[in-house]
Amino acid sequence: MKEAVRVGEKKVVELLVNGGQATAGPPLGPALGPLGVNVMAVVNKINELTKEFSGMKVPVKVTVDVETKEFEVAVGTPTTSALIISELKIEKGSGNPKQDKVGNLTIQQAIRIAKIKRPELLAKSLKNAVKEILGTCVSMGVTVEGKDPREIIREIDEGVYDKILTESED
């Protein structure tokens, strides 16, 4: 957890919470309690905003106005690897991704993850966003369509998936 930072009359607390499972205990309670804000109201708001990411670590930024005790909650998206783990329903990525494969994504699953992460990615197109997701698959020991993700990246560059990517662009 990052330390609370003063912004004018506001304090910002950044932390990672389990989606939909924040509690008033650490790290939230001790960080927010001294600011005089209603901790349960903040916890409830965080859980409401993160429930769709249940079981994943989600970055959350809480901005508290120290004088009025009003707060804002901004939720980021889980890491790409957390989304892949969730999609595959596995415990974690491979410790030895060259030899040990831990799961297989479909191209549709890779596209879905790319769409969730798109606002945070540098990619200018869905096609390039999917290629970024496939790069994470390489380092996690995850195959895509039963193949090495690098092979799928080559196929994307060759236009093999143009139709599905165009249909998914909406």
Hey, what domains does the chain have and what are their CATH numbers?
5-75 (3.30.1550.10), 80-168 (1.10.10.250)
pLDDT of residue 69 exceeding 80: yes
pLDDT value at position 140?
Answer: 96
pLDDT of residue 3 exceeding 90: no
Dump pLDDT digits (tens) for 99-148: 999 999 999 999 999 999 998 898 999 999 999 999 999 999 999 999 99
Cα–Cα distances in Å, from 24 out to 43, 45, 73, 156? Answer: 6, 12, 15, 46
pLDDT value at position 2?
Answer: 56
- 21 class by beta-carbon count within 10 Å (0-12 exposed, 13-18 middle, 19+ buried): middle
Distance CA 142, CA 104 (A): 6
Q: What is the pTM of this model?
A: 0.76
